[in-house]
Structures are given as C-alpha cells and as structure tokens.
Structure 1
Amino acid sequence: MNDFVQRLPFALSGIDRDDLGRKSADGLLENPGTRILVQRRDTALVAPRGGGLALDLRENKNLPSYRDPIYLGKLVEPRENPDGRVDETGTPIVAVAIEDFEASQLEPEADRWPMLNESGLQLDRTDASLYAEALAIRNFHRNHQHSPLTGERLAMEHGGWVVRPEDGGQPVFPRVDPAIIIGVVDKDDRILLGANVNWKPKRYSTFAGFVEPGESFEQAATREVMEEAGARIVNHRYLGSQPWPFPASVMIGFLGELDPEQDPATVRPDNEEIAEVRWFTREEIRENIDLLPPRISISRAIIEEWYGGPLD
C-alpha cells in the first residue's frame, strides 16, 4: 500500500464486507454480539468527546425498534470501544436508521450526531470506513425506492445490498459513480488550481469530473482539464482512490503534467464551472493554506503529494 493511500480518509478499512454472509444477515439483530451503527439522515451516532462511533447499543433501552438493517460486515481486527471494551475479530456490524424524534430521545446532544465530512478525520480507519460504507449504501436505498424498469416498490434483501420488487422481479444493485480528480504541474514545478464559480468564499482545488460512458480514467482526466482550464496534460500518474459517499462517488486521483509545448500563460477558466485558475509555487501554497480544500478530501492529498508533505 503506497503512502498516498495511507493518508486518505476512508481509503483503508478494517472491515471484511462478508459478501457470503449477507444472505443470512437477517438474524444478526437477534445476536447479542452484534454491534449497531445508528444513522439519522446523513449522520451517525458517535461516542462522547470524540471517542469514535457509538456501536455498543444492543441493550440500550432508549433505542427504538430497528428498521432497515444493513449488514456492513465483520471486523478483521479487534476494535476498542470508548468504554474500554474490545470487540474481537469477526464481530458483525449492522447499520440501522431512525427518525429525528427517535434520535432526540436516544441522544439529544447535536454534537453526538456529526456528518461524515465533519468527523472523518477524528475517526480511526475502521470507524471512518464503517461510516462511509453505511452512508453510501443508505444513500443508495433513498434513491432506489422504486424499480427503474417497472416503477414497482422495492424491498431490501441480501443484508441490504440488493433491492427487488416485493413480488419478485429484476434485482437492483448499488451503483458507484467514478470521478477523476487531478493536479496539473507545469515545467517550473508549479501546480494549477481552480476556483469553482459556486464557492463562496473563494477557495482553490484540483480539477475533477465524472467519467463518461466509454471513457477511461485517463481520458476523463484529459477531457476535464481541457474543458475547465484549457490545459493539455500529459504523463498521467495514478496516485490512489477515495470513496466519497456524497452521495455515491469514488474519486480516482492523478497527477499530470502540462504539455511542455503549451505556454502556461494560455491556461484559462471556462467561466461556466471554473471562475479562476492560478499557478501556485510551493511558497504561495504555504501562504494560502486557508484557501485550499479540507484535509479530509483527496484533493488536499494530491496537493500535498506535489508539495512533498503535509500542509498543517
């Protein structure tokens, strides 16, 4: 595993997704050894004082009836809980959803219900991966309540990883939308960043976009940078990927070089999606850290890969 991926939130996991076990996952909620991740809309319950996900709620008398359980998998390494108890390797984890009023009864403190992009850096790799997985599959269910073929109501099966019309029919599986994200470097070793027209206050990031049908990742990277900044790139170097369940993406990260035949001064924003493009030296990056993407994003990791280390 390369150092770049090691630095990416959500990119590593301590979870065995246990595909074979999904067929018999219905009984897991009756298993006292099962740990439960509780979801409220786009949030999940965490332990007090940043202690990680609050998973040990099986005996909590305030927890409402379980609905829409999703089997996330089994631990592949022991996990220590905030109270010091250790969940051993093989412990099953199930995500359940509750309503707002139930969440307020279970835990009224708002800071115990952070969104993933708020808490991801404070969670260890196992908890961050569990949260990302639970959010992604829950988003899939929200967006696939009816069959795209027949309009029939869909019901969960296979531990939540398949939905199908209640009277049988064609199954629908979770989908992931691949998107490339790339940093562009010129012959003077400056990095090109762009400011999106919708970002207020203004900030700068690397260039990103969804992969189109019939397109490779490299082709998508070349097209996106040309469309958004008028830059021709060569020598794509793959760095790593990051799941991004907002709502259902995976980001494929690259560094590329500006074609040496192109004058860096000819790079221009498209003024539709990108309002401004700018070349940064390392010194200028240090001076403008507050304008960069947050540390939780792969864009920040790409910038730091070019920079040569963390920008704290």
Structure 2
Amino acid sequence: MTAPHTLLTVDAHDRASVRRRDEAWLEQQWADPATRVLVVAGAQVRPRGGRIDWVRPDETPDGLRVLLGERDDRAWFALVTDRPDPDEPGWAGLRDLLPLLAGDAPESRADAPLLLHALGIAEWLAVTRFCPRDGTPLEPRAAGHELTCPRCGRTQFPRTDAAVIMLVTHGEPGADDELCLLGRQRVWPRGRFSTLAGFYEPGESLEDAVRREVAEETGVEVGEVSYFGNQPWPMPASLMVGFVGRATSTRIEVDEVEIEEARWFTRAQMLEETRTGTLVLPGGVSISRSLVEHWYGGPLPGQW
C-alpha cells in the first residue's frame, strides 16, 4: 500500500530543534537579511499577490519569534502577534489558505509544511496562556516551542489531538463490484461526500478507534484495519491518521448527529457521479482525497 502524497506531507523543512535554545545563533539568524519571516496574527496570516507573504526580519512588527527551522540555506521564523483587528482586511486562517497552497506555483506548495508549523504553534500559544497547576501566566521558551510557569517551573509542550480517518470497503479487493463507503454531514452542500473520521479516545488502539467511529456513525461493522498514512491538520491541532477498513456488513444506519447520509459506491458509480457533479469529493490537499483515489486507482474529476 502506498502512503499518501499530499501537499501537507511533502518537502518538510529541517526544524533545527537543537538551535531553539541557542540565543546567539538565533540572534545571528534574525540579523541575516536572507532569513524569512511569516507574520502570524493570532492564527491567521495575510497573503500577498496570491502567495504566502514571507518578509525580512526588519520588516516585522513586535511579537514572539518562533523558529520554524532551516530550508534552502536560510532560516525561517514565524513572528506571532495578537489577533488582528476584525475590521482589518486580508487576514486568513488555514482553511481559507488551502486553495492557495494547492495552486500551480511551486513556492506555494513548498510553503505548506512551514505554514502548518507556524499556524500550529500560533494556535497553541493563543490558547495556552496560564499554568494548569497554579494559574500563573506562562512564559515562552525554546524559540516558542515551550511554555514555562515561572512560579512552579512546570513546562507545557504543544499538544496534538490524534484523529482517525478511514476509507471503508466491502467485497473482493479490485473487483468491479467492490464497494467504498462515504458519508456526508448535514451542514455540507448536497452531493458533497467524504471518508469517515473521528477522534481517538484514551485507552483504545487506533484500529479500534476506526471500528468504533464507523459503527457509531453508520452502523457498519469493520473487521481488518490497515494503516495508510498520516497528515498534519492544525485546525486547530490534529494529526489525521489514515486507515483502510474492511467492512463485515453493509447495512447502513446513520447516527443523524455527525452523519446525515452514508452511501456505498462502486468505482463505476463514483466516476460517473464525479463527472456529472452529483458527487463532490474533498480537494487534493487532503488525505481523504488520497484515500479515495488510492482505492479508485487513479485521479477523479471535481473537488470541493
């Protein structure tokens, strides 16, 4: 099985974690005009000309310097400031930036891992302000990657919520009548479907999380579960772990809470409906699209 190749999982930068406490090196890089910085207000950035706007250190406002790492023989930082004024136009969160990252410009695609790193840290900094033990305001350390309580000394690290995302199939693998299960949420436009997903719960394996979520949302029972790949998804702080599950039943009974409708598709049905637009699949930036097209055996038309 081939792991997914999406815009959010390629060309990772060197995070240079050993440099995060090297204040002399950090200052040297900040003084270098070749260094590039992304200004992040809250968890939003302001693109310019259809691209992520990287600037020189001397072009940034006051804020917290977060070392992202090294790439292309230069250092990359995020400069994290307070949330932007709601009346100030042009600021965008990650969901609004996904079409930009999926554009034709190679530099936009290369920006994806750096952008996810920056926004993931910024979101964590925005919501993690006080020590959970004694309520003291936390102080940043390690170039923005740690928060320490000056009173009790307890250190907080960025948190990631593990979530499973799965393509469920039924029938002989590769056969014309093999089925693929997709679902849709009530808030989505008609015709929009995706793979099922849900959060991991404490004390269960990821494979059991797949089985539980599919059963809860659609009533379909899953047996064998195989790992597919993973994708960072900082909206606000998730790691999507992809699986393929083999269903042992086909009867659908949706929960009508998270899932309004679920359907089985053959490959022929999927191709026909994506061509006519009656079935709209997630965009190519997502692991969901990779799961579906891996099962289908090639690219499919249309996307969100």
Q: Same fold (TM over 0.5)?
A: yes
Which one of the candidate residues 250, 263, 282 is aligned to 1:293? 282
1:274 is paired with a residue of what secondary structure? coil
CA separation in 1, counterparts of 2:4 and 2:261? Answer: 29
Match of 1:169 in 2: 153
Q: Does 1:143 align with 2:143?
A: no
Match of 2:15 in 1: 17
Q: Does 1:269 align with 2:270?
A: no
CA contact (8 A) 2:63 2:79 kept: yes
CA separation in 2, counterparts of 1:110 and 1:163? Answer: 26
CA separation in 2, counterparts of 1:145 and 1:110? Answer: 23
CA RMSD of aligned residues (A): 2.6
CA separation in 1, counterparts of 2:91 and 2:147? Answer: 32
Alignment of 1:37-186 (within 5 A): 37-48=38-49, 50=50, 52-60=51-59, 63-64=60-61, 66-75=62-71, 78=72, 89=73, 91-98=74-81, 100=84, 115-122=96-103, 124-167=108-151, 169-186=153-170
Structure 1 stretches of 5 or more lacking a match? 79-88
CA contact (8 A) 2:46 2:91 kept: no
In 2 relative to 1, CA 58–29 (structure 1 residues): closer, same or farther, beyond 3 Å? Answer: same
CA separation in 2, counterparts of 1:305 and 1:31? Answer: 44
CA contact (8 A) 1:9 1:128 kept: yes
| 1:47 shift after superposition | 4.5
Q: Deviations over 1:116-138 (max 9, x none)?
A: 32322125443100001101011
CA contact (8 A) 1:182 1:253 kept: yes
CA contact (8 A) 1:46 1:114 kept: no
| 1:46 shift after superposition | 3.6
CA separation in 1, counterparts of 2:152 and 2:128? Answer: 16
1:72 is paired with a residue of what secondary structure? strand
CA contact (8 A) 1:176 1:250 kept: yes
TM-score by length of 1: 0.82
Alignment of 1:188-203 (within 5 A): 188-201=177-190, 203=192
1:288 is paired with a residue of what secondary structure? helix
Structure 2 stretches of 5 or more lacking a match? 172-176
CA contact (8 A) 1:15 1:74 kept: yes
Q: Deviations over 1:226-265 (max 9, x none)?
A: 1111111122221110000000001011111111xx3x2x
